[in-house]
Structure 1
């Protein structure tokens, strides 16, 4: 079944409309009211659409914070982020956005909380206040990124493990005492460079420049001449893998409007929040769904 036939089959089976945004990632979901509790057929169809399209966009969804939490929880247990500020009544909702004096700092390709021993399955983000222009978000299909690698690179990274760390992205937001506490609670996590999606079976390039610091077992897999070759070779390989997220052919870019919701699969995507709107303000709320240990 080709992509067009698969999309047509989805449309017949789903109780909502599905409009792909690009050939490789992203779909607009219509004819659905996310204020209502998802029945089983709708839930299953949305989950299947998420796995296939990697990120789903819902427009004009004026939901309350409580409805946001309930909607996300339909897909699994929710995390409480240790650093970002939370909604006062719903700690599962993080509050994202700078102000007229402080820029946001999410403009780096990353997968949410990959630094956890058990990273997230998905994230559900709602725009509360949008800037007059700018502030788009880019998502990347990292299964496509893996598929596009040359065969010799695929062979080279097979069996490699990457170390993901909270501190590069969030250490500067903490006091010295908070860094000590969070270092103990969230030690660096080691995940495979190539993970397998638990639902689709796709192989995914699971390395991001936001949180990966080094390769845990590079020296055990790669032959090298002298120590300098080992270290520089590891850095060169990581930089090459990081750059795969920047390939436009693997991406979709979405323009926010108030009450737009994006729901993405953190297992198979990375994303980048474009910070081109400062000193205008963009305010968002995000719920993050706990996933499974990558294999």
Structure 2
């Protein structure tokens, strides 16, 4: 699908500073606590989100209840199967990297949240509670642009391909065999198109990331002459597609400060949490919004 050029949304209420040519805008003149309770302000904000794909805000001293209320404007919230939710605010996940916890680096991969779900998240609202003095940035990637700039031959090859996405192969890797089996039974692998369509804009999106384990419908007479075309041919193709997220021209990088907030469209982006700050502390709280099934 080729999408016609769309008019860039304007805002009569907020000040919008585009951060890169590809993705991201910082919004000022905005109280997200007020947006959470005002339908007109929220509609304006949502239009900016769909266009810029990730929005950033500073100095948002909102409560956890306001954080949840803002995220619920987009849709129902989801729980995280490993981390769980704040007991007083269902749907709000605490991601605390502090001195009590050992350093973990499993997040150091470009990913789209929870594509192992049949319905991956619509997006997330992430608030910084405590930031390290240096480091701990997050990078977001425009996967619409990543698809648009693929070679035509690659687009033709992946047009009808589908990929399997797994939580067992990622979060489950540290678990015992019995725990992995239970996790897989609760969250079976999901299958999604390699190129999905954005339900709001019609944009085509490259939709494979570090949760994708393999291409499920590659082994056909059109693609396979000899075994090498499948193994490692299919895996090489998948890794090539996943690697597109690492191209700087598609990215924006955000430095966190306390009470800064990012809202992103999980359907059209990937992100990478840079873990370069240990032993400093980084505490984040995230509300993930349930999404639709990719098509």
Pairwise TM-score range, normalised by the shorter structure: over 0.9
- 1:25 match: 23
Note if 1:34 corresponds to 2:35.
no
CA distance in 2, matches of 1:84, 1:273: 16
TM-score by length of 2: 0.93
CA distance in structure 1 between the aligned counterparts of 2:127 and 2:273, rounded to whole angstroms: 13
Q: Distance in 1 between matches of 2:175 and 2:16?
A: 42
Give the C-alpha shift of residue 265 in structure 1: 0.4
Q: Scaled by the length of structure 1, what TM-score is found?
A: 0.93
Q: Give 1:224-239 correspondences, 5 Å limit.
A: 224-239=224-239
Q: What residue in structure 2 maps to residue 53 of structure 1?
A: 52
Superposed displacement of residue 49, structure 1: 0.6
TM-aligned CA distance change 1:173 to 1:285, over 3 Å = farther
Name the CA distance, whole Å, in 2 between partners of 1:52 and 1:181: 39
Instruction: Report deviation, 1:95.
Output: 1.2
Question: Normalized per residue, which structure has more helix?
Answer: 1
Q: Distance in 2 between matches of 1:50 and 1:235?
A: 33
Contact preservation (8 Å) 1:95, 1:283: yes
Sort the Cα spacing of 1:221 and 1:108 in 2 relative to 1 into closer, same or farther, 3 A.
farther
Count of residues paired in the alignment? 289
Partner of 2:254: 254
Q: CA deviation at 1:227?
A: 2.0
Aligned 8 A contact 2:223 2:229 in 1: no
Q: 1:66 and 1:178 mapped to 2: Cα distance?
A: 33
Contact 1:160–1:221 (CA under 8 A) maintained in structure 2: no
Provide structure 2 residue ranges, at least 5 long, that are not aligned to the other structure. Answer: none
CA distance in 2, matches of 1:222, 1:249: 33
Structure 1 residues 222, 66: CA separation in 2 closer, same or farther (over 3 Å shift)? farther
Stretches of 4+ aligned residues off by more than 3 angstroms: 172-178
Secondary structure at 1:153 match in 2: helix
